[in-house]
Amino acid sequence: MLRVARFFVAPLLLVLIALGVLALTSKPAAPAAVINALGERPLVIAHRGGKGLWPENSLFAFERAQALGVDMLEMDLRLSSDGELVVIHDSTLQRTSNGDGAVAEHTLEHLQALDAGYHWSADGGQSYPYRAQGIAIPTFAAVLERFPKIPKVVEIKVPDVGMEALVCEALTAHQQRDRVIVGSFYDRSLQLFREQCPGVATSAGPGSVRLLVALNWLGLGGLLSPSYQALQIPERHGELEVASASLLQTAALRGLNVQLWTINEQPDMRRLLDRGAHALITDYPDRALQVLGRSTRISALHD
């Protein structure tokens, strides 16, 4: 009996000691300049530049979203076959452009000749107002050059092809390391980026989100020392409620800026802001601005 008790007591003690050490040494996320600069108010982030309003991931979209007064532009990065960072969401060309095949199998020259406004329609395909308007797939460099000031959420879409170093180089060259949050659906990509680009703010990868959800569920969220500054999460993942009030509270206490995607309906926007969301990533930034009582007027566009 005594032996059985010892068998359980020793590991339990070890676990308790480990938890105690973690509790004493855990630290909230280091503050990120990009988030601090945005102040305390809830943020409106134009998802792919506001894909509900105009063709996604285009200079045209980013220009109008900026003029609308959004706080951040969100965009997706991939590599062309000749190693250039291009701003496009899908791995293939057919949904958003008049091209066909994989992005990664085409040169920059070929990609830039495509019409990236070809398939955008606000009336279910009755009209295509942005066809042949000169809307192209931009390079990341062009976006950084054209929009030097506005903070950005930049998503690395492809791991294991060297994009992390290229993103870091581009941010450094354009002096925008303190103006972005870098995200990815690949934890290994984020880990590599953090090593290669120290000091640049990142969001949690899926593994980190799972760990946070599990710790919070166990009531141990206070043990987390995040290596990231933002938490970009959906409200739900299938049956699982990810962005619970409790998770949002824990994340805020760990110093994280909680950014919810992709929130397009105004009742959802209100509900999630009331729950404690710090930012809404939305295809309709005009709706979010309206919910927040901010202007939805597009100011003069700079050429």
The site for ligand G3P (CB under 6 A) is made up of: 47, 74, 76, 89, 153, 155, 183, 232, 261, 281
Least distance from ligand G3P to the Cβ atom of residue 259, Å: 7
Select the binding partner of residue 58 from ligand G3P, Ca ion, none (C-beta < 5 to 8 A, by kind). Answer: none
Nearest approach, Cβ of 261 to ligand G3P (angstroms)? 4
| Residue type at position 218 | L
155 is an interface residue for Ca ion by CB under 5 A? yes
Question: How far apart are alpha carbons 78 and 89 in whole angstroms?
Answer: 8
**For Ca ion, the closer CB: 183 or 221:** 183
Neighbours of 244 (CB within 10 A): 16
Terminal Cα-to-Cα distance of the chain (whole angstroms) = 81
**Active site (annotated) includes residue 106:** no
Contact between 283 and Ca ion by CB under 5 A: the answer reads no
Q: Which of 47, 106, 174, 237 is catalytic?
A: 47
Q: For 303, which DSSP code?
A: -
Determine whether 210 is exposed, middle or buried from the number of CB atoms within 10 Å of its CB (0-12, 13-18, 19+): middle
Q: Say which residues have a Cβ less than 8 Å from residue 296's Cβ, sequence separation at least 6.
A: 68, 69, 286, 289, 290
56 belongs to the binding site for Ca ion (CB under 5 A): no
**Closest residue to Ca ion, based on beta-carbon distance:** 155
Fill in the amino acid letter for 283.
D
Whether the CB-CB separation of 22 and 222 falls below 8 Å is answered with no
Query: Is 47 known to be catalytic?
Result: yes
Nearer to Ca ion, 76 or 283 (CB): 76
- The yes or no reply on residue 76 touching Ca ion (CB under 5 A) is yes
Catalytic sites, residue numbers:
47, 89
Contact footprint for Ca ion (CB under 5 A): 76, 155
